[in-house]
């Protein structure tokens, strides 16, 4: 006689990622109402507001997340806002922050206006045909540690450590010279960095510049694996660390110190210590900082053990407990 079947618990946390380049000179007026609404709806994450638009990833109960999105779309600047959704059984963020910035994605060229200057949008369905053209220069606009996990076939890795370094790389490659026009295609995780990158090329006078609409995440969501030209996994800036085709959680782990994915062989390296360091950041922190990280790791492990005990005795872990368990560091 077969034993009782068990059903996996439902995924309780909805993550919504969104951005919109839009002229927003009065961006500060949205800070307080957004902070209050998110807190009331138990929604955590980060919302950046700047004169060039909005950029955010938020997570929480589905009803709360959808309430925040609905409120935004009722505001005149954000009526065209689109978002991407994913689910998890753990809270990806520990608190809610709404910040005012000079740029929603820092390139160091605040005078750009991506809302009107961005290059040609190319859908995920049409992307393969574009990048198959040998005359197209395909540029990955992400940081080096992101590219390490995966990228498109024949894509160029600028080997930058921050997005703000990309303009100098483009200048050094001669890609900002309108007298030497090139056909350039750019891509990034969700679309925001490549959209701003193509705006820079357009502002310099280049015309044949393209970017992947919706970014890698939209491509992995809509293009079948057997038709894909993507290789590896895509780094994401939350507790999933990386995603694969179908936007399924990938196989990579995160260093809790530098918040970057663990490089190959990290777990057997003498420079790896859980919650303290990995081969990427070991030489960048002092012994005092490592000591502090060890204590923080011990506190987190104690909190996790207590929460697990409460869960076994009293039922499901609360939203606040999840925030504690997943927000250390």
Question: What is the pLDDT averaged over residues 261-279?
Answer: 78
* Active-site amino acid positions: 188
Q: Which helix (H) or strand (E) holds 217?
A: helix 215-222
If pLDDT is split at 50, 70 and 90, which confidence band does 52 have?
Answer: very high
Q: Where are the alpha helices (DSSP H) in 12-123?
A: 31-40, 62-73, 114-117
- Residue 222 token pair: 């809509």
b/e per residue 22-35 (b: at least 16 CB within 10 A): bebeebeebeeebe
Query: What is the structure's pLDDT at 249?
Result: 77
- What does the longest C-alpha to C-alpha distance in the chain come to? 78
Give residue-wise pLDDT tens across range 182-228: 899 999 998 999 999 999 999 999 999 999 999 999 999 999 999 99
pTM: 0.72
Rg (CA), the chain: 21
207/327 Cα distance (integer angstroms): 44
A 10 A CB-CB count for 152 gives 21
Indicate the Cα dihedral angle 180, 181, 184, 190, nearest 10°.
100
Instruction: Express as a percent the part of the chain with pLDDT over 90.
Output: 57
Q: Between these two residues, 5 and 135, which has the higher pLDDT value? A: 135
Both structure tokens of 254: 């995160």
Of 89, 91, 16, 90, the C-alpha closest to 47 is 16
Q: Which pLDDT score, from 0 to 100, does residue 132 have?
A: 95
Question: What is d(CA 190, CA 168) in angstroms, rounded to the nearest whole number?
Answer: 22
Over the chain, what is the mean pLDDT? 85
Show the beta-strand stretches assigned E in the chain. Answer: 13-21, 44-50, 53-60, 83-88, 96-100, 120-122, 136-140, 150-152, 183-187, 209-212, 230-232, 234-235, 242-243
Indicate the SS3 state at residue 188: coil
pLDDT at 304: 59
* Domains of the chain with CATH codes: 13-100 (3.30.70.100), 114-231 (3.40.250.10), 262-329 (no CATH)
| pLDDT band per the 50, 70, 90 thresholds, residue 284 | confident
Whether residue 327 is predicted with pLDDT greater than 70 in this model: the reply is no
Residue 37 confidence (pLDDT): 98
Q: How many Cβ atoms sit within 10 Å of the Cβ of residue 281?
A: 17
**Predicted local confidence at residue 299, as pLDDT:** 77
3-state DSSP assignment of residue 313: helix
Q: Please give the full DSSP string across 290-306, using - where no structure is assigned.
A: HHHHHHHHHHHHHHHHH
**Tokens coding 62:** 């589905």
Which residue would you say has higher pLDDT here, 149 or 248?
Answer: 149
């Amino acid at each position: 006689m077969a034993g009782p079947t068990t059903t996996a618990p439902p995924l309780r946390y909805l993550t919504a990622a969104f951005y919109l380049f839009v002229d927003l000179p009065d961006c500060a007026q949205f800070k307080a109402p957004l902070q209050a609404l998110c807190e009331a709806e138990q929604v955590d994450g980060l919302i950046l507001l700047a004169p060039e638009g909005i950029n955010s990833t938020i997570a929480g109960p589905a009803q709360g997340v959808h309430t925040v999105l609905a409120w935004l779309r009722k505001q005149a600047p954000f009526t065209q806002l689109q978002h991407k959704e994913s689910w998890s059984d753990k809270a990806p963020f520990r608190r809610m922050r709404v910040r005012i910035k000079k740029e929603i994605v820092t390139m160091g060229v605040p005078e750009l206006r991506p809302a009107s200057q961005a290059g040609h949008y190319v859908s995920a369905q049409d992307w393969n045909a574009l990048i198959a053209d040998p005359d197209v220069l395909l540029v990955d606009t992400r940081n080096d540690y992101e590219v390490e996990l995966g990228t498109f076939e024949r894509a160029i890795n600028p080997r930058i450590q921050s997005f703000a370094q990309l303009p100098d790389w483009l200048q050094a490659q001669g890609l900002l010279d309108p007298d030497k026009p090139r056909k350039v295609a750019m891509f990034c995780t969700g679309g925001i960095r490549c959209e701003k990158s193509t705006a820079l090329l357009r502002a310099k006078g280049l015309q044949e510049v393209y970017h992947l609409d919706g970014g890698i995440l939209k491509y992995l969501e809509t293009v079948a694996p057997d038709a894909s030209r993507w290789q590896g996994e895509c780094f994401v800036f939350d507790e999933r660390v990386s995603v694969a085709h179908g936007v399924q959680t990938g196989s990579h782990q995160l260093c809790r110190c530098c918040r970057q994915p663990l490089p190959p062989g990290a777990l057997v390296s003498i420079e790896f210590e859980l919650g303290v360091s990995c081969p990427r950041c070991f030489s960048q922190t002092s012994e005092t900082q490592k000591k502090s990280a060890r204590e923080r790791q011990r506190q987190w492990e104690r909190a996790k053990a207590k929460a697990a005990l409460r869960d076994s005795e009293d039922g499901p872990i609360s939203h606040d407990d999840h925030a504690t368990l997943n927000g250390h560091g």
